[in-house]
Structure 1
Amino acid sequence: MNEKIKYGLSAAVLALIGAGASAPEILDQFLDEKEGNHTTAYRDGAGIWTICRGAILVDGKPVIPGMKLSKEKCDRVNAIERDKALAWVEKNIKVPLTEPQKAGIASFCPYNIGPGKCFPSTFYKRINAGDRKGACEAIRWWIKDGGRDCRIR
């Protein structure tokens, strides 16, 4: 079976994991592939104005229609957002995690659904109770963005 189809991860992400890469390295590769790096503001699936890899704020100000950033500025914004997401995982997930698990949870909770939706979620309750299998099952329930199915095909 094709590895990307089986796991929803590219060969590049799997290679990083296999090489023992850090959570920031894995998360950067994953987000670059899944989110892209847009230097011009765009609406995400929920209609929210975003830029770079999905940032909604730049220098503390909301992204607005027509906003444009250089690739270098997006790289800085992306690093800030990545580091915030990983710090959230470190602070809020109470069980030991591997580097790939940190990257995966950072992508899911603070990065995509946001802390406000993550805290009351079954995923959050299960992972912190040590129920990894149940937490993985609960992630699969989050398949809609703006009412559209966004599962990896």
Structure 2
Amino acid sequence: MKKLFPIFFSTLPLLAVSPTIYMAPPEATPKALNESLSKGEKTAVAKEAAQKGTSEMMIISPEGRAKDIEAAIAFLKKHAPSTKPSIKLTNGSILSGIINVNVMPGGTLLIIQIASLKGVQYQIEKIENIDTIMTNGT
């Protein structure tokens, strides 16, 4: 009996320090949440978090973001008709003289019509490459 007390007292602090493990229900596991996100959403979220350096993130569907970009260009064309909207990309380049923006059916790509000296040109961009939407005057 005297031999058991030192063993018991030496392991007691280890038991007090060990963390409690909680099991989450199957529908709330991180793996299930990650599987519900599309590849485009994961890429957009990861890129945004890396650029901002914040620990918080907001998940927005690619289709919703693409429709917002399309609506923003239409809004700028309507409210500032003398200037053409521009888009600043994450790599620093600027697409200016935008005539129209169309969203591809998947919602992850934008077809941008640009007025140039050579006529109308088209550029296809991923929605995660769009940084800022502005007018030429700003």
Shorter-chain TM band: under 0.3
Normalising by structure 2, we get a TM-score of 0.27
Normalising by structure 1, we get a TM-score of 0.25
More helix by proportion, 1 or 2?
A: 1
More strand by proportion, 1 or 2?
A: 2
